[in-house]
Structure 1
Amino acid sequence: MSQLLINDEWLWSRGGAGLPRLIEFWEGLRVGVLKAHKWLVHRMQARWKSLKAPSLSLMFAKQHERAHLDANCEEWTFSWWDEDQAIAGYTSYRLLGQSDAWYCWGLWRPDAPLLHITEFEIPRRSDPMIAKASALWAEYTCDSPFEQWSLGNETYAVELEDPQDALGLAYGNAVPIASDLEWYANGEIEFIVDGYQQSGVLLGAIETLGGTIEISEIRAARTHRWTAEATLPPAMSGKVVAHLGPRLPFKFPTGDVLDLVLTVDGWVTQ
């Protein structure tokens, strides 16, 4: 720590009567700085001791949230559900090679047609997190790494009375929708094969012809995976053998199927 040198003769020449007060001022300042330093050290030590282990989110490089230029296949998924099964949804965005992308989105509600969106011919843009195709705009925005994402779209969804139709030609009534959803983390990342997953909550609004669907903080989860291989297996974990509840299936150009069914703990594969 540097020292401040004061010439006594100069001080007296500037007014000797004020010297005691000046010395008192500098001494008070020195004591104040020492107290502030001790407080800061205490806060840092307390913060470190409060962590049982270093945060995975802090240890993991923030750039891993975004697209990896060297990946041949990369995918982000977000799922959300109400524990009372009043509403549930899922969306995924997959980058393939260096030129194409796939987008899926679905919304389930009781006593309402399934809203279903798939687009498998999306040309890659300079910002790979923006998907634009015929009558489709969608965007995944990382607002804060490992803490917050924004999910938006403006497009047409197909109304499906029977979820099984999603595995066929998926013909139905096309309706315009626009969604503005926010995902917030409430847990640390957990490493899985080829990437990581994280629990959180989702809220926002979905505009439909029938009015606005308001979502106020329901359970949610997300995954992010990437690989040098040509494809990735389904991200959803857990399986049920027989299920008669809410269902949200998707069929991909490769012939692969993601058949999601809803449980109290979220979507799982059937």
Structure 2
Amino acid sequence: MWTDADEQAHDDVAVEAWWWWGQTADASAGLFVGLEVRGRRFDYWAGLVRAGMPYLYVEELDGTGRRGGLEIKPPEMWAGHTCDVPFRQWSLGNEAHGVLLDPPQAALARPFGDLAPVTFDVEWYATCDPVEIPHGYEQAGEVDARIELTEGVLALEGPARRVHVWGVPYVPRALAMPLGHDVLAGPYRRSDGSAVEQVLTAQGWVARTVDTR
């Protein structure tokens, strides 16, 4: 159905997206990384949610500075996404300044907050074969991450998931969004003006797109 080359960029499409999510087993912390490319331009997102802590959010919308493969180097940040073993293992990293947001919903407008230097070092491992979805595939796995923060290094290990689609952007459309004090919000905005409400639950990450234009 797919070849190893499908893990990489498809140069004949107008848009392509790779997304990764991970969490601790008790869902007390979670992370996500997203990259959407449109030719030489791109959108990039990364986030960290923790119980009792502000939401750490990184974005670079309609950015420039795409290098070879899936490496990006816009002004004042860097991020890399390397497929180590097709359909088995990915290595993700970034060096950036994020913002600490409380409430997290501030990410959907103009995400102003306290600047926070951050470095992601993420290893993503598959635990099963990919499953077909429209325009691509998704895959379950596990994550082993180290996130360098001002206050020290956070280790995050646990269940994970990823999505890769091409020819269309990745636009999550959950039918219902969990509410309550036992979920951690990690929303983000898109360069097309839409917003994505996203939360970490005990069952994993759930998201839906809202058109705010």
User: TM-score higher than 0.5 here?
Assistant: yes
Match status 1:253 vs 2:195: no
The 1:152/1:241 distance shift into structure 2, 3 A limit, reads: closer
User: Larger C-alpha radius of gyration, 1 or 2?
Assistant: 1
Query: How big is the shift at 1:237?
Result: 5.5
User: Is residue 118 from structure 1 mapped to residue 59 from structure 2 by the alignment?
Assistant: yes
Q: TM-score, normalised by structure 1?
A: 0.73
CA distances 1:165-191 after superposition (whole Å, capped 9, x unpaired)? 111111000111111110000010100
Q: Among residues 146, 163, 166, which one is paired with 1:226 in the alignment?
A: 166
Paired residue for 2:49, among 108, 126, 130?
108
1:159 match: secondary structure: strand
How far, CA to CA, are the matches of 2:98 and 2:66 in structure 1?
Answer: 23
**Pair 1:77–1:201, CA change in 2 (3 A):** same
Q: Give the deviation of 1:91 after TM superposition.
A: 1.2
- Which of 5, 19, 32 is equivalent to 1:77? 19
Check the 8 A contact 2:62/2:191 in 1, yes or no: no
**1:32-58 deviations in whole A, cap 9, x for unaligned?**
xxxxxxxxxxxxxxxxxxxxxxxxxxx
Mark the CA change 1:126 to 1:156 in structure 2 (over 3 Å): closer, same or farther. Answer: closer
Q: Helix, strand or coil for the counterpart of 2:52?
A: coil
Which residues of structure 1 form unaligned runs of 5+? 1-58
After the TM superposition, list the runs of 4 or more consecutive aligned residues in structure 1 that deviate by more than 4 angstroms: none
1:82 Cα deviation from its structure 2 partner: 2.1
Any idea what SS the aligned residue of 2:5 has? Answer: helix
- The alpha-carbon distance between structure 1 residues 237 and 267, as it changes in their structure 2 partners (threshold 3 A), is farther
Return 5+ residue gaps in structure 2 as ranges.
209-213
Once the 2 structures are TM-superposed, how far is the Cα of residue 104 of structure 1 from its aligned partner? 0.4
Q: Partners of 1:90 and 1:232 in 2: how far apart? A: 17
Select the structure that is richer in helix: 1
Distance 1:242 1:143, change over 3 A: closer
Select between 192-201 and 112-121 the one with higher mean Cα deviation. Answer: 112-121
The answer on 1:184 being equivalent to 2:125 is yes
**Equivalent AA in structure 2 for residue 189 of structure 1:** P
8 Å CA contact 1:137, 1:153 repeated in 2: yes
The correspondence for 1:68, drawn from 7, 10, 15, is 10
Q: Larger relative CO (CA 8 A, sep 6+): 1 or 2?
A: 2
Separation in structure 2 between the aligned mates of residue 100 and residue 208 of structure 1, nearest angstrom: 28
Structure 1 residue identity aligned to 2:114: N
The separation in 2 between residues aligned to 1:86 and 1:241, in whole angstroms, is: 18
The alignment covers a number of residue pairs equal to: 206
Amino acid at match of 1:200: G
Shift of 1:264: 2.1
* Residue of structure 1 in register with 2:211 after alignment: none
Alignment RMSD (CA, Å)? 1.5
TM-score by length of 2: 0.92
Cα offset, 1:124, TM superposition: 5.0
1:175-220: CA deviation from partner (whole Å, max 9, x where unpaired): 11111110000010100001000000000211010100012x3000
Q: Is the 8 A contact 1:121 1:133 kept in 2?
A: no
Alpha-carbon distance in structure 2 between the residues aligned to 1:191 and 1:140? 22
Structure with more of its chain in strand, by fraction: 2
Tell me the CA shift for residue 266 of structure 1. 1.1
Tell me the residue number matched to 2:81.
140
Give 1:252 deviation, angstroms: 1.4
Q: Following the alignment from structure 1 to structure 2, what is the Cα–Cα distance between the partners of residues 126 and 104? A: 17
8 Å CA contact 1:239, 1:268 repeated in 2: no
Structure 1 position 103, deviation (Å): 0.2
Counterpart-to-counterpart distance in 1, 2:202 and 2:11: 37
1:113 to partner: Cα distance: 1.0
The one-letter code of the counterpart of 1:220 is: A
2:2 and 2:96 mapped to 1: Cα distance?
35
Is structure 2 residue 143 aligned with structure 1 residue 207?
no
